Amino acid sequence: MIIIGSDHGGLALKKTLHSYLRRRDCGVTDAGTDNDASVDYPDFGQKVAEAVVSGTAELGILICGTGIGMSIAANKIPGIRAALVTDVFMARMAKEHNNANILVLGGRVLDEQKACDLVGAWLDATFEGGRHQARLDKITALEQKYSSP
């Protein structure tokens, strides 16, 4: 199951990606927002990140105007590896090397076709493990060191 969320700046692209995921036969849940009224992106970043960390969803996709705010917010949740990507190579590497469990996109900087290509590349990629797992273990250690008890 994939959970997808956006703020008002990513709403239009979220709708496109929701349809794209359904065409790919992916189970998808919409975490909001559902209209173009101004909302705060951290609320949706948190909602999607918590669903991924809890196992309610396997993967997440977040969209705001640039993707920057959503990636910052989501990465505050321990266990999240949210990757803001702008090209297919980055999307693939986000999964292959970083095992990104949330893909972050900019709704005001990507067109619909490019965004679908990025999501497809990320979904089709496989985490390589090995030396990359050792690096992720170091990230987990950083999360543990700096998390409040």
Q: What is the pLDDT of residue 143?
A: 94
97 is known as an active-site residue: yes
Catalytic residue among 8, 18, 97, 132: 97
State the number of CA atoms in the 13 A half-sphere of 42 facing the CB. 4
Which residues does residue 40 pair with via DSSP β-bridges, in sequence order?
none
For position 92, what pLDDT does the model report? Answer: 98
The Cα 105–Cα 110 span in angstroms is 8
Sheet bearing 2-6, strands edge to edge: 28-30, 2-6, 59-64, 102-106, 82-84
- Tell me the C-alpha distance between 47 and 112, whole Å: 24
Domains in the chain, ordered, with CATH? 2-146 (3.40.1400.10)
Q: Are 13 and 105 in contact (CB under 8 A)?
A: yes
pLDDT reported for residue 147: 86
Which single residue is written with the structure tokens 């993707």?
Answer: 67
d(CA 49, CA 80) in angstroms, rounded, equals: 7
Nearest to 64 by CA among 34, 94, 32, 105: 105
pLDDT per residue of the chain (149 residues) written in tens, 0 to 9: 999 999 999 999 999 999 999 999 999 999 999 999 999 999 999 999 999 999 999 999 999 999 999 999 999 999 999 999 999 999 999 999 999 999 999 999 999 999 999 999 999 999 999 999 999 999 999 999 998 77
Residues ≥6 apart with Cβ < 8 Å to 78: 53, 143, 144, 147
